């Protein structure tokens, strides 16, 4: 399959009719607010495909801010605004996530379910209804010269059902690119060989992403039976507003410990996410910069993650938003324990510069931590482990420079190794935090003077 959006003036518009995306024709499941979010087919879906692509200089527009319509007369499943007008996809996202703490059944723009060698090249994706691109269980995925921009200026001139302007803050869950693994596929007609469910050999390069959630999030799953995510390169790219360069929060898949020549076990355990190399990346205006996140409901081993030549300028703080340039936390959000304890190993920052005042969080995991005794956390039927599980966060900082004093700095159960290039972060030992220093060397900070460029073509 090769889907070509050939010319710059060509735009593919997504339908605003939820009935076109229902999983079963005649049974409304899309465009609804429910406890789960599996009610929609994607605009474009590729399943168990080999050597497939979406290429060209055109645009795919999800029309996430436009009012929904229905091909069913007087459709009772069509959600309405207080004034009786139909809701938009982003209305549904806001009401589901922020108001009701439930799930939005919105379509994804591009969903790739298992397969080998899928390419996105030069295409512009905008105004996504939910996630832009999810390559799930794909062995060989490339996004090259892709532009992701949500919401566009035309949509930002509009308001949601509460009268708030559409923005990257109100277009909820519009992630940019989320590579993830899946369960194994043994029946694969036309594509010889078992598909392991691994998300592997991934390249995101020369790509610009501005969106309403993670600019990019490398994910796993919530069960060890799923495959792994490994050999991921993010290079020569620019991220703008969003939630930054993320790994997690799902990080549980390990293919039940099956050996893999591309994945190196740590302490006899095969990592869920490994071999991630991020370099020559600018993050400009996101509320998070570099982030790895998980918790005891979906955790696993994450190892060999390296960030090099990265420039970060986070968004400005507001009364409700506290941006964090670096956040490595095994307490992503209050959950019930599933006994899936997160463990980060081999995290290295080598040439990272933060040019404005921001916050910082470094937290390893300890099942006896006061964090897990706070409101919202529950040991559930799994219970608290005895003895406690302690997975400190080992992280190396070399030439990690903050040009301004931190707005906040939290550290717990963390082992810092400071390289010869040093760090300007005011790290202090104590409360489970250990700091070791290498002999200092004269290393110039990363040059960020030309890093923060305008979004191309905007």
User: Which residues are designated catalytic?
Assistant: 213, 243
288 φ/ψ angles, rounded to the nearest 5 degrees:
-130, 150
Residues in Cβ contact with 330 at an 8 Å cutoff, skipping those fewer than 6 apart = 293, 294, 295, 299, 342, 343, 344, 363, 364, 365, 391, 393
CA distance 455 to 246: 20
Give, for 413, the enclosing helix (H) or strand (E): none
257, 340, 253, 326: which is closest to 286 by C-alpha? 326
Residues in Cβ contact with 192 at an 8 Å cutoff, skipping those fewer than 6 apart = none
Q: Give the 3-state secondary structure of residue 318.
A: strand
DSSP assigned state of 289: E
Residues in Cβ contact with 423 at an 8 Å cutoff, skipping those fewer than 6 apart = 397, 398, 399, 400, 401
User: Percentages helix, strand, coil for the chain, rounded to the nearest 5?
Assistant: 5, 40, 55
CA distance 388 to 376: 20
Report CA-CA distances (Å) from 421 to 185, 281, 396: 46, 19, 11
> Is the bond preceding 198 in cis, omega lying within 30 degrees of 0?
no
Could you count the other beta carbons within 10 Å of the beta carbon of residue 432? Answer: 17
User: 3-state SS string over 216-245?
Assistant: EEEECCCCCCCCCEEEEEEEEEEECCCCCE
């Amino acid at each position: 399959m090769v889907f070509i959006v050939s010319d710059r003036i060509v735009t593919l518009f997504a339908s605003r009719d939820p009935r076109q995306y229902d999983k079963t024709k005649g049974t409304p499941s899309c465009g609804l607010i429910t406890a789960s979010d599996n009610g929609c087919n994607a605009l474009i879906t590729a399943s168990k495909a080999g050597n497939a692509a979406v290429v060209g200089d055109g645009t795919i527009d999800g029309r996430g801010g436009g009012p929904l319509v229905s091909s069913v007369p007087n459709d009772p499943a069509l959600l309405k605004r207080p004034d009786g007008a139909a809701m938009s996809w982003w209305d549904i996202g806001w009401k589901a996530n922020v108001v009701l703490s439930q799930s939005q059944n919105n379509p994804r723009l591009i969903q790739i379910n298992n397969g080998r060698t899928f390419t996105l090249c030069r295409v512009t994706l905008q105004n996504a209804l939910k996630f832009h691109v999810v390559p799930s269980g794909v062995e060989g995925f490339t996004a090259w010269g892709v532009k992701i921009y949500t919401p566009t200026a035309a949509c930002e001139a509009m308001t949601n059902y509460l009268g708030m302007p559409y923005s990257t803050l109100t277009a909820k869950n519009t992630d940019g690119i989320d590579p993830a693994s899946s369960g194994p596929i043994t029946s694969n007609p036309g594509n010889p060989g078992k598909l392991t469910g691994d998300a592997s050999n991934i390249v995101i390069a020369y790509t610009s992403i501005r969106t309403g959630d993670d600019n990019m999030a490398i994910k796993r799953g919530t069960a060890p039976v799923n495959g792994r995510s490994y050999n991921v390169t993010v290079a020569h790219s620019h991220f703008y507003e969003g939630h930054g360069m993320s790994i997690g929060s799902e990080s549980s898949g390990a293919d039940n410990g099956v050996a893999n020549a591309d994945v190196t076990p740590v302490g006899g355990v095969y990592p869920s996410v490994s071999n991630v190399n991020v370099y020559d990346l600018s993050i400009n205006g996101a509320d998070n910069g570099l982030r790895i996140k998980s918790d005891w409901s979906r955790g696993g081993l994450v190892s060999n993650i390296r960030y090099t030549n990265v420039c970060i300028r986070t968004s400005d703080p507001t009364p409700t938003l506290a941006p964090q340039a670096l956040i490595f936390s095994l307490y992503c959000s209050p959950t019930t324990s599933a006994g899936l304890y997160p463990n980060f190993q081999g995290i290295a920052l080598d040439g990272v510069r933060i040019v404005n005042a921001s916050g910082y969080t470094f937290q390893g995991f300890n099942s006896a931590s006061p964090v897990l005794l706070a409101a919202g956390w529950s040991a559930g039927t799994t219970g608290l482990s005895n003895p406690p599980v302690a997975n400190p966060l080992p992280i190396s900082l070399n030439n990690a420079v903050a040009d301004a004093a931190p707005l906040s700095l939290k550290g717990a159960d963390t082992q810092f190794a400071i390289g010869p290039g040093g760090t300007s972060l005011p790290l202090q030992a104590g409360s489970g935090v250990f700091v070791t220093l290498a002999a200092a060397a004269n290393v110039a900070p990363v040059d960020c003077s030309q890093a923060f460029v305008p979004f191309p073509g905007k």
